[in-house]
A and B are shown apart, each in its own frame.
Chain A
């Protein structure tokens, strides 16, 4: 009996594979005769990806040019690493890297935690209608633009707003949620968790519900209580998907949420709240910065690739999960 997302152990057969591929031609043909339906299945997606994802990839060279659309890719002068050098010479840019990591990583951690917790609690609700209703409600905020939410949040979080009135009613000092550099990143983090955790539960809930009910039944026979079942069955079987989602999120770690921060920040919290994207946006006010944008994009991609590789490696070494 397998359970959902069961980790698959694969013998690391790198050497053999190479031999298999570049060894005797007969083998390839033989393998192909057996595997052609699989190749055929992948073919449409392969073609689409090749044309539309790999086709435009030459645009990456923009990062090393002083690109201007009028001159195009052929006519724009090459500047090597100048844009990278320039960016890192800007003190205001360097701090955005730290801020981006900080805000983004805590967002990932907390919203993953909140999504899993909520999926588990929701799964305990047996009335199908309620379950569906609750799940629908919590995923709504994901679809509401930050431009709208920002207005509401500014009102709620103002120094005389609802939340501060509540806090002061309880005898605490008022919290400058949006105007104090030490508080601002956390305001961004928890408000984003609130907005996005409901949508995150979608995958976890699907994973939980695809766990074979027989496993629980046999656990009940063994006398395991509800809590025990969650600890020793549900969570371990969800392990791979949690790792998978975390790894995929690594690809996004340098997107700390432009729309949210852009609509809520102000110069007074730049020191902790300014992220790479908001910085680039303001840079663009000076005139379109194609090459600087491309340089940041490339840097971001490289960092994401490294982080994803690290998490893939650890998932495989430590937990034996093969994600890709």
Chain B
């Protein structure tokens, strides 16, 4: 009997290990990934060879010259699950990877991909385990120490020569537009990371959005002063059934972005981001330390008392309930980004009427002489770096240049079908990932071209995927009232669009820029989360539990609890 049981036990063990063996042989999900891309174009020389990670001498000539022997780049990146590849394609085999192979003989393979949320954790784990991919991206939100730690420990490749010799002129010209960003990734004159830049500063100013049908029914009053704005909110509440005046979210971001009306520039405190500028002595200080902030607090406290701010604002998740009230017609004023139309357009048109969408205006000011200034933060979206073991930095530069050429350059001959193939549905974001260096002029150029094309009706000059789709979407709204076109239309499709309003601010110098021209400083880590205190106490002041003067005490606490560290660090790195 005992033997029988022992046999039984052993059998169970064997079954378990058999399972183990089986599943090891056939991985859970098959990834037809790594094989060389099969494209029915004439093979580039050597495309039938195995790609190599050994050093391959880069060819002379410009960035367009392909490698003689195939080169492999093992990369890592974040991947949104909702990006759709065409049938049979995946992150390792798609129009873009095929393009790199065809055009440059560079074979890109993603060693791992993870989600935006987990990319930093995953990166840290890979670093700790000592298996860095050849090429990866350090996101803008990552620990500010990460880049410098990697660099100082000799784990990053010096990209200077490759950048100078093999990156396209277009890429290197970004330095002319914005010389400071790449300096953040330069150590002792050597470049260790290529910044990804951003779509343009025109994206940044926030606008005061008013519900169009109500605004027009109220006689389209000009909103130049804060008092005008208050009157408009009152009209919306009294005559059009709004429950309250202005949308405020639990992060207070929508409210803090109205601060320029009072001459205060606060930042995104819930993310621990401050807006830094010089006071009269020249010392750099955060917006909350300027007296104008007290004026703003005074107004906001009154707004809450008068019912302009919802009594439930602290539960208004910016992507949940906050949005619900807007599309349900409970409020007609919101301070927001330029892409309002994408976030709320289809819903509000679907639930209310075709004229219920919001339209953007510049923020008023106390005296009404000029519009409030637009706030500009450091906009870089991250940095692409290579592991010190990586053998072919020239290949990286060539791929980066190729992507830029296809996505942003005016002299890429692309048919609408090509554009769709490479960039439809935002495909270029999903697939080019870490190889995309964004043109800092992209959105400004796009805005100018699209607006002109909409005015003339001639779309022949549009040359990027972004331009084509924004044009098409705007037309869809204008011609067919397709609410999915509202995003593009409100952003850039008419003379009163968000970008047109921003352009006005830039043209007249109504712009103010934060002094902290980097995402974060290494010293900040020691300061802790200083934003917590401000968020909590400002809410108490807004709801009237504390008087406005209470903020002076809070500010002292803020300096004592890490604020001083931050201010000193900012002055050390960026002070006069």
B520: A residues at CB distance < 8 A = 286-287
Known: A70-B153, A72-B128. A267 touches B535 (CB 8 A): yes
Whether A154 pairs with B321 at a CB distance below 8 angstroms is yes
Q: List the count of A-B residue pairs having beta carbons below 8 Å apart.
A: 101
Whether A68 pairs with B315 at a CB distance below 8 angstroms is no
A290 to chain B, nearest CB (A): 8
Tell which of B124, B130, B250, B271 touches A266, judged by Cβ atoms closer than 8 Å: B250
Please tell me if B561 contacts chain A, counting CB pairs below 8 Å: yes
Whether A70 pairs with B149 at a CB distance below 8 angstroms is yes
Whether A154 pairs with B315 at a CB distance below 8 angstroms is yes
Closest to B149 in A: A70
Tell which of A266, A270, A287 touches B525, judged by Cβ atoms closer than 8 Å: A287
A92: B residues at CB distance < 8 A = 532-533
Complex Cα–Cα for A91 and B252 (A): 23
Map CB proximity to B onto A79-119 as digits: 1 under 8 Å, 0 otherwise. 00000000000111000000000000000000000000000
Whether B529 pairs with A151 at a CB distance below 8 angstroms is no
Please tell me if A178 contacts chain B, counting CB pairs below 8 Å: yes
Whether B312 pairs with A283 at a CB distance below 8 angstroms is no
Tell which of A69, A267, A271 touches B314, judged by Cβ atoms closer than 8 Å: A267
Map CB proximity to A onto B531-551 as digits: 1 under 8 Å, 0 otherwise. 111011011100100000000
Please tell me if A282 contacts chain B, counting CB pairs below 8 Å: yes
Whether A154 pairs with B317 at a CB distance below 8 angstroms is yes
Restricting to B527-576, which residues have a CB under 8 Å from any CB of A? 527-529, 531-533, 535-536, 538-540, 543, 561
Whether A270 pairs with B536 at a CB distance below 8 angstroms is yes
Please tell me if A229 contacts chain B, counting CB pairs below 8 Å: no
Map CB proximity to A onto B421-440 as digits: 1 under 8 Å, 0 otherwise. 00000000000000000000
Please tell me if A158 contacts chain B, counting CB pairs below 8 Å: yes
Known: A68-B149, A70-B155. A286 touches B540 (CB 8 A): no
A288: B residues at CB distance < 8 A = 120-121, 124, 142-143, 146
Whether A179 pairs with B315 at a CB distance below 8 angstroms is yes
B528: A residues at CB distance < 8 A = 90, 283, 286
A70: B residues at CB distance < 8 A = 127, 146, 149-150, 153, 155
A271: B residues at CB distance < 8 A = 536
A154: B residues at CB distance < 8 A = 315, 317, 320-321
Whether B529 pairs with A283 at a CB distance below 8 angstroms is yes
A164 to chain B, nearest CB (A): 10
Whether B540 pairs with A268 at a CB distance below 8 angstroms is yes
Please tell me if B215 contacts chain A, counting CB pairs below 8 Å: no
Whether A90 pairs with B561 at a CB distance below 8 angstroms is yes
Whether B314 pairs with A178 at a CB distance below 8 angstroms is yes
Q: How many residues on the B side are at the interface (Cβ–Cβ under 8 A)? A: 44
Please tell me if B311 contacts chain A, counting CB pairs below 8 Å: yes
A289: B residues at CB distance < 8 A = 525
B78 to chain A, nearest CB (A): 16
Map CB proximity to B onto A244-272 as digits: 1 under 8 Å, 0 otherwise. 00000000000000000001101111110
Known: A68-B145, A71-B153. A285 touches B311 (CB 8 A): no
A321 to chain B, nearest CB (A): 32
Whether A267 pairs with B321 at a CB distance below 8 angstroms is no
Please tell me if A159 contacts chain B, counting CB pairs below 8 Å: yes
Please tell me if B272 contacts chain A, counting CB pairs below 8 Å: yes
A43 to chain B, nearest CB (A): 11
Complex Cα–Cα for A68 and B149 (A): 8
Known: A68-B149, A69-B128, A267-B532. A179 touches B540 (CB 8 A): no
Please tell me if B144 contacts chain A, counting CB pairs below 8 Å: yes
Whether A71 pairs with B312 at a CB distance below 8 angstroms is no
Whether A267 pairs with B529 at a CB distance below 8 angstroms is no
A202 to chain B, nearest CB (A): 26
Map CB proximity to B onto A296-323 as digits: 1 under 8 Å, 0 otherwise. 0000000000000000000000000000
Known: A268-B543, A287-B524. A159 touches B312 (CB 8 A): yes
Whether A179 pairs with B314 at a CB distance below 8 angstroms is yes
A182: B residues at CB distance < 8 A = none
Please tell me if A191 contacts chain B, counting CB pairs below 8 Å: no
Please tell me if B218 contacts chain A, counting CB pairs below 8 Å: no
B7: A residues at CB distance < 8 A = none
Known: A155-B321, A267-B536, A287-B524. A71 touches B149 (CB 8 A): yes
A168 to chain B, nearest CB (A): 14
A103 to chain B, nearest CB (A): 18
Please tell me if B125 contacts chain A, counting CB pairs below 8 Å: yes
Known: A151-B317, A151-B320. A286 touches B272 (CB 8 A): yes
B125: A residues at CB distance < 8 A = 69
Whether A158 pairs with B315 at a CB distance below 8 angstroms is yes
Whether A151 pairs with B543 at a CB distance below 8 angstroms is no
Map CB proximity to A onto B303-335 as digits: 1 under 8 Å, 0 otherwise. 000000001101101001100100000000000
Closest to A283 in B: B529
Tell which of B130, B272, B539 touches A285, judged by Cβ atoms closer than 8 Å: B272
Whether A268 pairs with B314 at a CB distance below 8 angstroms is yes
Complex Cα–Cα for A285 and B271 (A): 7
A99 to chain B, nearest CB (A): 13
Closest to A89 in B: B561
B314: A residues at CB distance < 8 A = 178-179, 266-269
A175 to chain B, nearest CB (A): 13
Besides the known contacts A179-B311, A282-B529, A287-B520, 17 further A-B residue pairs in the complex with CB atoms under 8 A apart: A69-B125, A69-B128, A150-B317, A178-B314, A267-B250, A267-B314, A268-B539, A282-B531, A282-B532, A283-B529, A285-B271, A285-B529, A287-B142, A287-B525, A288-B121, A288-B146, A289-B525
Interface residue ranges, A against B (CB under 8 Å) = 68-72, 75, 90-92, 150-151, 154-155, 157-159, 178-179, 263-264, 266-271, 282-283, 285-290
Of the A-B pairs whose beta carbons lie under 8 Å apart in the complex, a sample of 20, sorted by A's number, is A69-B124, A70-B127, A70-B146, A75-B153, A150-B320, A155-B321, A159-B312, A178-B314, A179-B314, A266-B315, A267-B252, A270-B532, A282-B531, A285-B529, A286-B272, A286-B527, A287-B145, A287-B520, A287-B524, A289-B525
